[in-house]
Amino acid sequence: MCHCLACQRRTGSAFGMQARWPKGRVDVTGRYTEYVRISDAGEERTFRFCPDCGATVFWTTTTEGWTDSIAVPIGAFADPSFPQPTVSVYRSRRYPWLSFPDGIEEEHD
C-alpha cells in the first residue's frame, strides 16, 4: 500500500495498492500503452495502460530495490478475496483517519 502524494494524485484515492512479482515470473501478453512519470522522489515509473479502457494493467520503476519487479494494481484482479497488504510505504503521508491492521510492515517512509 503506497501513500505517496504522486500515487494519490495518479489513483485519485488516499492510496495505491499493488501486488509485485519479479519480472522473470511475469509473462506479459496483449496490447498496452506506456506513460512515464516521475515520482515524488524523482524516480521514473513506467505505467502500462489498456489502450481500449485506459485502466492501468502494470508498471515498473527505477526505484532502488524494485527495478527487477513488475507491479499490478490489485483492482486489476477483480477479486474481493485478494489477500490484505503486507507492506506499507510512505505511511507518514497517509491521511490521519487511515489506520492499518496489525502486522503490516512499514518501509520507505
pLDDT tens string 51-71:
999 999 999 988 888 889 999
Domain containing 89 equals 1-17+85-109
Distances (CA, A) of 37 to 6, 27, 61, 88, 105: 9, 23, 10, 21, 26
DSSP E strands in the chain: the ranges are 18-22, 33-38, 44-49, 56-61, 69-73, 87-89, 105-107
Residues 38 and 25 both lie in one domain: yes
Residues 26 and 41 both lie in one domain: yes
Residues 48 and 94 both lie in one domain: no
What's residue 71's pLDDT? 93
Residues 94 and 49 both lie in one domain: no
Q: How many domains does the chain have?
A: 2
Residues 68 and 89 both lie in one domain: no
Q: Can you say how many angstroms the Cα of residue 12 is from the centroid of all Cα atoms in its chain?
A: 13
Residues 8 and 24 both lie in one domain: no
- Which three-class secondary structure state does DSSP give residue 73? strand
pLDDT at 3 over 70: no
